[in-house]
Each structure stands twice: as structure tokens, then as C-alpha cells.
Amino acid sequence: MSNIKLPAALLRQLGKKSDTALAREFGVSYNCVRAERIKLGITSLKQQRWTPEVLASLGTESDEKIANRLGAYPSSVTKMRQRLGIPPYGMRREQKSHKWKRSEIKLLGKLPDAKIARQLGIDPSTVAWKRRGMGIVKVSAGRSERKWTKRELAMLGQKPDSVVAEIIGTHRHQVAMKRASLGIENCITRRNRNRKSN
């Protein structure tokens, strides 16, 4: 790989604009921009966009409203929502009518949505809507809730979520949700703040 020195103006915008946009704007290759961003430990604009808070908001308001807030296309919000199996905004009659008991809420995230739905005699989308509204991570069928080791927990906030996810063999969003639930700051955010203060 060639050691091309990228302009300081470009480096300042890493993670603030897409790698493709920066490559086009400064007339350098996409691979050079991407490699430099990864080397500096800066998450991509796309990764930053889907924070645990944003993911938890999917389906709780219109895709268009979320897209406007993120500066994204509504179609990209719709695709992410559908990929996570979240029904669109606008509660169905069943979702409005089901009164959730405390014992039922405790099942969310511990059993697959479909299994909870069968037990309660409701549609899986109603379970998914309630779970996502409470910011609870989905548990796939046949797989129990992830048990975090002390070593894994110690990595949260020390390395980028994507790196931690690769090391422990899970999805980046699950790492981000766990970190956020423990009130641990993203290392990229902390690093950028320290740079500004220096």
C-alpha cells in the first residue's frame, strides 16, 4: 500500500463525511481515505449514524422524521428498520389494546419475540414494537441472551465498538447497546473531545 500523505483538511473531516464523498472532493482514492480513517480509529459516518439511541427510535416515529434528524435518506432508515424486523411507525389496534404486565415485560430480550408472542397469544410485531420501544436487544431463536465476561466488559469504551465486536464474535450494535446501557462513553467520542481540548 502506498504511503500517500492526505491533506490536513481531509483528515479533519474523517468520520464527518462519507469516505466516498471525501475521496471525490479531494481527488484521492476511496481506499486511501478508508485506510487512513481505520488507522486513526475513527468510525465511519454510517456507523456513527446508527447509535443505540437512533436504533431504539426506529418504529417509534416516522422514517422520514428520523431521516431528517440524521441528515439521511428516508429509504436508508426504512431499510435499517426492516432489516431489524421493526414494524413501521403507527401502532396497530392490537399494539394499542395489549396491556403489558410486569411479568410479560421481563420476558423481553430473554426469549425470542416469536416465542413470547405465542405465550401471550399476540402478534410477534407487537412484541418487537414493545421491546424496541424499551431499547431491549433482540434474542435470536435458539440462542440465549449473551453473557458478558469481565474481560469483554473491560474492553467497552477502550476500543471502537466494531473492534470489540470482532474480537468477541458478536454484532457491533450489540456491543454499542451494552456499552450505552452501562453509561460507558464511546472511545472515539472521548478521543475527539480530548483533541479539541488540547
pLDDT tens per residue across span 12-71: 888 777 787 788 888 888 888 888 888 888 877 666 677 788 888 888 888 888 887 776
Q: How much is the pLDDT for 142? A: 46
Rounded percentage of the chain residues whose pLDDT exceeds 90 = 1
Angle at CA of residue 191, ends 17 and 35, nearest 5°: 50
Q: How much is the pLDDT for 46? A: 67
- Rounded to an integer, what distance in angstroms lies between the CA atom of residue 182 and that of residue 67? 27
Query: Residues 59, 87: contact at Cβ < 8 Å?
Result: yes
Q: What is the mean pLDDT of the chain?
A: 78
- Rounded to an integer, what distance in angstroms lies between the CA atom of residue 60 and that of residue 66? 9
- Rounded to an integer, what distance in angstroms lies between the CA atom of residue 10 and that of residue 90? 42
Residue 1 lies in a domain: no
Count structural domains, the chain.
3
Whether residue 164 sits in one domain with residue 189: yes
Measured N-to-C along each axis, helices 124-133 and 113-120 cross at an angle, to the nearest 10 degrees, of 120
Residue 187 lies in a domain: yes
Residue 109 lies in a domain: no
Whether residue 55 sits in one domain with residue 25: no
Give the pLDDT band (50/70/90) at residue 1: very low
- Rounded to an integer, what distance in angstroms lies between the CA atom of residue 126 and that of residue 128? 5
The amino acid sitting at 107 is: L
Residue 131 lies in a domain: no
Please determine, for residue 141, whether its predicted confidence score (pLDDT) is greater than 50: no
Whether residue 84 sits in one domain with residue 56: yes
Question: Domain containing 35: what range?
Answer: 8-42
Mean pLDDT across the stretch 106-111? 84
Query: Residues 22, 14: contact at Cβ < 8 Å?
Result: yes
Q: Given 58, 73, 90, which residue is the final one in a domain?
A: 90
Whether residue 59 sits in one domain with residue 38: no
Q: How much is the pLDDT for 110? A: 81
Residue with cell 402478534: 123
Whether residue 38 sits in one domain with residue 14: yes
The amino acid sitting at 173 is: H
